[in-house]
Structure 1
């Protein structure tokens, strides 16, 4: 069985992608946890509904549309972070930087505080239907602007450290599920580490290829569909899948101009830069993402600046330098470091450049000695030679000309001329996120350059919403008759930009917030306990559990109920809520001594009247994950510091790092943060020791780098309101969203140059017939794009005769629609009853065991919510006072209802056995048969393909087409019983299945 559900991305203007694969035994695989630039929590409701039943997660690209909601789900959806997640190393590293940049850049991504509605868990045979608390009361007035607490950079680090790394073309079996599956990652192009997933489960061979690029980019290779030096798709990799889930995105469908190739797009970009920045001294804003496609543009421009002395180094008019090249992003420096560890994932062009740079570095060492001995050259000439040598020996992603700006103050100083750079450039080229111009530094830069005609905005991707989409529509409507490098000019167009801030709550708003959050957190805790009790479908949970199976002999006494055990010793806690009595939907529920673990701010509990294990301090052991090779190893325990994106401290810094925690003030349940004041010392003293005494994580890892020549110096002499430490210090405070609208006048130029690196309509039309899928599911595109490629495929695979069946079934689902894309076979998965299993008689055939089975099919009744065992009912008693029974989502009942094979009545079994003939099961190989005959004293020789002559009288022949084995007497074989002895040896290699059980 294979059912497909598109949670997000099917026939939608939004680029967010979330796909759900449903397999046998209740296995659900979530592929991608995408979001879009609107950051609407409504998009995540379906994800939250299905979250308790998800078995594992696969991530494809390090982009907002593919993993933008991953950190939010890990923090705010109970149990989501414990779901096993798989991705390639670049997707993990770049995705971590993307989300850290996102939450530091805009408070819109933090999400508005909404009430928790009762979940509706989709029906699944492997997931029982628990009862969850009812919704919380309605939020107070004015709460629409309240914000959730977003994940911090440290939390995002921990979320991504849990992801399991995979390599390309490496099958990875997953055995902890009810039925084993195998996942394999293949290169998808488009982004560094981008993945096409192949999922194999029984007869299902599913390929998930969303947002891939068949063509090569400068820094990465194309998708792995075609074999090397061939135009065919191998069936051993991605060819002939039972189901192909493919994106229908076609960037060339709405273009008013002919599409660009890789060479022509580079030429158009350079022509625009030279016209705007070099000739007119303007500023070029290139809007792109922050970690993925920006690498393609940054690599190309960096290499161009190295080769083009006009743009890089030769003095222009008035003694000013060429064109300045900048990249604005809060994780720019960490990105340049992280990419340096991913060279093996890049194209051959980058690898060759890396080898050449390493070779030149060795040669430069010898030249350095000669330059030290020769001091006759002028100072200016010597500096020019050193600069040229630095460029020659730099690696592919060692940014020599590209300068990184990580703070808002640096951008302001760049435009007002106060930034500490070597020389003021003639013009500027700035790469900034995001492509939608709705968050990140791109919006702020747009506000600064929009009013001048000499400036230009280059759109590299088509955005689904925001100011980026409005500018694309303007370009699409007015570019007719022009070229990509010309663009269009906007004249006095008024646009409103919305700038959002996170403001802490005060006064009555703060009191209302605290009261509301008390109800919400109690409900969240109760719901988490229920989810941990049932667990995600088909996996072994790793969270903490109550050890309800082990208890003392006193637990059976009537007075040992947890709701009658003891009272708290804390008067302060009594004022909040009675101990062990968390507030759920406005009512209190007693959880007994477990409040010492699950309660907040409770450190003592009266157990003098308790009995049994309720008298002891609660202990919640971790359920260990075990497979055929033993206990699972936590990969994050063995990740090196440089793989996490951190800097390794050595020498005196490491010693200071070890002694730093000893200076922290000890507070019960909390640790002093590194930016807090050390007791007895002033803020200035702590600031001077900042580099020696704080952990190098996040952007702080870059603060200790040595400044290089030409690098932008971001001075910290003045307090920065947008520093990472100050921004994250507000994440834990109750806050609201404050929007400020700024009206700007657009007089600048706008053009669109496609750098998104996606397949176009021509690629889909050429490649889909070579892949030859049995079923094709089209998602990740607009309605027009999906209908366009679906119509082409239906015409391509139209039956040749009226009675013939269509070669490929094509599906174009909507969001939330279930598609039954199972393999069309007569094979069914059955459950054998215990009575039938005891009657089976097994025979060995090679490495397998076979047995005849005679039974009758029965439909197993699905357990109702009230049919849980007593132990499970006891675990759910804590929420029975105010519960809402979860009703299953209506799905295909035939696929979800288990079928059981049970023993038939005696009379039916006897009649059926009498009509059955013996069946021979097995496959005899002639070399093995020859060896068995020789052991019986019979001389056997090969006499042609598939023929074995025994003692010159009996011929054993195996037909090539059917595998049928024929034992023939060539004359004299009946004498001495030779023919019978040969037949006995042949039968000895087969299993004779007779009758029934």
Structure 2
């Protein structure tokens, strides 16, 4: 049985992002995506706060986080589909704080680019507001220091992790390539997962989940079937639109897909690209600048390829700037994943490689040395902060600014927008509507309301720029260094706290040394006892060589080297008379430590030898690699920041710039969705990630098709949908006699056979065994059988053909055999030899609405050939 529960991103909600779902197959719980919301909605739309009567209102993400915290420890498998914040943003926090330790799978780009997206997001937030509680510091030093400015606000309930926790979470992911099946073990044994290309983002994945008990489940959200500059369309459609559905993904038992854009009609990509480039060029030529908010890792690649090609073709001299904290690392990773790209990037790579064979590898720097000519972005300049940008180019200089994040809710993009929007002639161009409640979404709604009805977003046209002339109040978070009295107080408190910590560490070290000394004394107690026994046995009649009464002479000048009573001479041999005895150098024999296995081994000595041998045999390459690793670790160390504090400012921004929106999300529109889903033709379907109106539109479209399933579900957030509750699944063991008697037929990845047996119990196992029914001989031996073993005579079962016949595949196979086949009418394939001109040998093959295959024609060689090919395209289960 299948149980599906949306934790967020349901089918009837005003907030379609983030995406996170629980899919339970029998007793295996699978987490599909683990996205994060935007943590900084505008104050005018923020749900969290205090009501008029003083009651605290939780933010809209509080319920989602509570449910995820409760479900995370019970999850057995995690599948991530895209590398943006809406799909992977909360995965590191759930991994480190919620106990989400189940095996997690994603494509290689989702692992790499998702890490970059989350790192950029958390570093941007941590640079503007306090996140960690000083009282929870590991060292305890932060708790003793004075706090100036803002402190962490628990009412916000923002889930921000550290850089180390983010890296640990993404390092735990298992990376797969497209069409690479993974056979799971443990509790998930028997389940096979396979990723397929979804388009939209690099590494975007359609997950095919195959279970022996419930069949095939396909999870496909945020698809794009059109070919872009840096990506090919989804493989769900072979050869693009009109190519049919990929056979591996067709006719699944359950399809989970989204319907957010069901009611929208997108403009042509050619028109959108032209409108965007014209708008940017016109503003730059007028002597002003363009600001484009964008994401940190996925859709920004399409913009970079588009603008870099435009700069090369148009010979623009205005700077093309990208302001992002992780841009350099992101592009380095991108250049190492060329096999995941498509579109014009791969063609440009092949063209440039052919024309530049004789170019030296170091002529164009590191990018060419990596062999990624198509992604070198020679016109692009990267800046980690707005201050670095201003130090290079003044604010008055025309330039195109790509700034992260796309929501304008925090970080560099919000800071630049506050100064940029007040300059007349500048233009702000949005490429995505963004999440509701964010500043970017507010600007999008203002642009959309200023368009004519036939040019609004989703009506098939691009629209026109509008002129802003209003005032907006923005809350700006920032981090500033301490100065003056605050800095002196901080340094004094820091000095006192460090001295206190040093004193505590010294006391702890002294206690440790005393404990070690006590342990050493206890080990040597036996030898000291033996020495005392010798001294007591010799007694007072030992010759000390010192006259009686001279007590001062008993203290020798070098008694520091002697132990015990120094006035006595040590001798183990009894001699006659008063022969003089000489003192012996004091020596105490240490007994070796022995346990039940013999003498204990000095591990430290072996470790020292091991290190010496390792250094001796270490090759030059290994030393260089070790040195390079150390340099990378030094580079990745977080520099020590000066004492700072977080502040909040409220600024009034005079909006005098132009505002334009061009859809660059790269998602299917309503026409595409309504065309693709009937071709997939699932047996059951679940709709997610959509508004109520869009969900109803897709359901109505699917129900209007006779061949489509009527079993369509659209659960809201928190609602559970159960599928297959009428099906009972039992576990039985097949006996060797039964397997030997069954004739198997291959169908897809499985072998299918018809069995007729009885279930018997086994005293040595809780799993019953399925044995073949005992045959009844014709000699009447059944009279000697127990009554329980005799079964009534059953009717002879008919042979069953399993599979979905595709007339196009049948036509191709017949063409190879020299039999001409043409489609006549709707769903009818007429077959006949190429040389015969009569219709006597013609055979018609058609499919009925219920999936039956009808082969009609006169008895001839063509008929038997066509029938044989029809049989070969199915799995024949003989009774």
Is 2:153 the counterpart of 1:158?
no
Residue aligned with 2:249, SS: coil
Partner of 1:793: 702
Per-residue CA deviations over 1:195-228 (Å, capped at 9, x if unaligned) read 0111111242111111111111110011111123
> What is the distance in 1 between the residues matched to 2:299 and 2:130?
24
CA shift in 2, pair 1:109/1:830, >3 Å = farther
TM-aligned CA deviation for residue 158 of structure 1: 2.7
CA shift in 2, pair 1:162/1:454, >3 Å = same
CA shift in 2, pair 1:36/1:758, >3 Å = same
Per-residue CA deviations over 1:67-115 (Å, capped at 9, x if unaligned) read 000111112112x1x3111111111110111111111111389868899
TM-aligned CA deviation for residue 348 of structure 1: 4.5
Per-residue CA deviations over 1:895-944 (Å, capped at 9, x if unaligned) read xxx999999xxxxx9665444448999999xxxxxxxxxxxxxxxxxxxx
Partner of 2:79: 58
Residue aligned with 2:639, SS: helix
Is 2:637 the counterpart of 1:695?
no
> What is the distance in 2 between the residues matched to 1:100 and 1:223?
28
**RMSD of aligned residue pairs (Cα, Å):** 4.7
CA shift in 2, pair 1:37/1:230, >3 Å = closer
> What is the distance in 1 between the residues matched to 2:362 and 2:185?
57
Per-residue CA deviations over 1:170-216 (Å, capped at 9, x if unaligned) read 22221323541111111100000100111111242111111111111
1:69 to 87, 90, 93: 90
Is 2:713 the counterpart of 1:811?
yes
TM-aligned CA deviation for residue 3 of structure 1: 1.4
Gap runs ≥5 in structure 1: 117-140, 312-321, 369-385, 418-424, 511-567, 573-611, 613-648, 661-692, 701-723, 800-805, 857-897, 904-908, 925-961, 963-989, 993-997
TM-aligned CA deviation for residue 286 of structure 1: 0.9
Give runs of aligned pairs for residues 584-603 of structure 1, distance below 5 A.
none
CA shift in 2, pair 1:503/1:352, >3 Å = same
CA shift in 2, pair 1:502/1:814, >3 Å = farther
Residue aligned with 1:695, SS: helix
2:728 to 828, 838, 847: 828
TM-aligned CA deviation for residue 497 of structure 1: 3.3
TM-aligned CA deviation for residue 432 of structure 1: 1.3
Give runs of aligned pairs for residues 741-820 of structure 1, distance below 5 A.
741-797=650-706, 807-820=709-722
Residue aligned with 1:48, SS: helix
Partner of 1:215: 226
Residue aligned with 2:633, SS: coil
Partner of 1:17: 19
Partner of 2:29: 28
- Larger Rg belongs to: 2
Partner of 2:419: 448
Partner of 1:271: 278
CA shift in 2, pair 1:500/1:207, >3 Å = farther
Which structure is higher in RCO with an 8 Å CA cutoff and minimum separation 6? 1
Per-residue CA deviations over 1:504-536 (Å, capped at 9, x if unaligned) read 9999xx9xxxxxxxxxxxxxxxxxxxxxxxxxx
CA shift in 2, pair 1:741/1:791, >3 Å = farther
Give runs of aligned pairs for residues 302-317 of structure 1, distance below 5 A.
302-309=308-315, 311=316
Partner of 1:90: 109
Residue aligned with 1:177, SS: helix
CA shift in 2, pair 1:413/1:77, >3 Å = same
Aligned length: 608
Give runs of aligned pairs for residues 649-688 of structure 1, distance below 5 A.
656=627
Conserved 8 A contact 1:146-1:736 = no
Conserved 8 A contact 2:233-2:240 = no
Conserved 8 A contact 1:776-1:809 = yes
CA shift in 2, pair 1:902/1:241, >3 Å = closer
CA shift in 2, pair 1:104/1:251, >3 Å = farther
Partner of 2:295: 289
CA shift in 2, pair 1:367/1:915, >3 Å = closer
Conserved 8 A contact 1:103-1:109 = no
> What is the distance in 2 between the residues matched to 1:61 and 1:818?
24
TM-aligned CA deviation for residue 795 of structure 1: 2.9
1:467 to 436, 439, 460: 439
> What is the distance in 1 between the residues matched to 2:510 and 2:742?
70
TM-aligned CA deviation for residue 772 of structure 1: 0.6
> What is the distance in 2 between the residues matched to 1:287 and 1:328?
10
TM-aligned CA deviation for residue 796 of structure 1: 3.1
Give the TM-score of the pair, scaled to structure 1.
0.54
Partner of 2:639: 725
> What is the distance in 2 between the residues matched to 1:114 and 1:213?
46
Per-residue CA deviations over 1:831-888 (Å, capped at 9, x if unaligned) read 56xxxx89998663369897843579xxxxxxxxxxxxxxxxxxxxxxxxxxxxxxxx
TM-aligned CA deviation for residue 655 of structure 1: 6.6
Partner of 2:196: 186
Partner of 1:242: 253
2:351 to 353, 356, 376: 356
TM-aligned CA deviation for residue 751 of structure 1: 1.0
> What is the distance in 2 between the residues matched to 1:500 and 1:4?
42
Conserved 8 A contact 2:103-2:173 = yes
CA shift in 2, pair 1:62/1:235, >3 Å = closer
Per-residue CA deviations over 1:343-390 (Å, capped at 9, x if unaligned) read 11111521121122222332345999xxxxxxxxxxxxxxxxx99x99
Partner of 1:549: none
Give runs of aligned pairs for residues 875-890 of structure 1, distance below 5 A.
none
CA shift in 2, pair 1:476/1:923, >3 Å = closer
Per-residue CA deviations over 1:399-443 (Å, capped at 9, x if unaligned) read 1101111134213425646xxxxxxx9511111122211123211
Give runs of aligned pairs for residues 896-915 of structure 1, distance below 5 A.
912-915=788-791
